[in-house]
Structure 1
């Protein structure tokens, strides 16, 4: 294969102008880009904020995961060919697996904030809405959880609704002194005293 116009890097073979092979660099670079994209989606960082709907997340995540699988297959083929032709395993082929391992380790060490982390502050907000000292809130972040709305409905319950979604909406409802009836639920599952996880059709 020929070098590019600048003589910097042959993208197919991983060759420098002097002919020294560095296989796996392109695969590692693409792997890093996709991992960054998926991490932004997981942690709801720009451009994927809490207002990103469920359908959009699926349309981004599925192709990204399929691309990672394809890159994994390409890496395996490349590793076998280079090892057979050169009689050694180049260290540059370790870059892509290292990127994947680093992304997985980051998620394991620093998991996305969950309900238990945000529950004390959520309860404070709910109690303020119940006693009339608080106001409905929209597009708000509570200890890492992002909500499209926090409102007290006609049944007296306080609904913490996550971002609007194409098919359904999900969130948590604070049920002290009330029975949740304001919405037609697909699922309503108790997750803690006075708290239930809900999903309802839009």
Structure 2
């Protein structure tokens, strides 16, 4: 009898494994992903979760089709932050893709597991509200202290966060998000990079 859970799905099982440093081993994760009979497995070896781009993750996202199920050994193997993880799960839901984390027993192919999508969607929205509120409060406090802040930001933090949402949850490029929100692409890219280092 297999020690790994059975994942009932009509689509493919697409596994993803990651370790942060080159001297760590993927074996435990790969054993688990093979144990549930993944059809494909994508890997990032020696790549920090903090990196915005990971070749294995990017390739997996490009491969996914409606009805597939993404499988990981643990939640923290997928997202570089809790917000990034939440965004990915919202994207999966939007694209009709299921998600399973073996260690945490999360499986959105089950009725109870579908609640996970709603929880992470609510968390992503809540987290962005907190980021926007804290950013604006910080600027107001600095002004009251008499700090010289230079020119006002070219793009409001709310627009930056909405751009980040569309990129992460809907798979838009920065150029696509800039067109959607009617802002300059290079300005948006600069603001996204500045905000990401603080919050994402």
Larger Rg, first or second structure (1 or 2): 1
TM-score w.r.t. the length of structure 2 is 0.30
Greater relative contact order (CA < 8 Å, ≥ 6 in sequence)? 2
Bigger strand share:
1
TM-score w.r.t. the length of structure 1 is 0.30
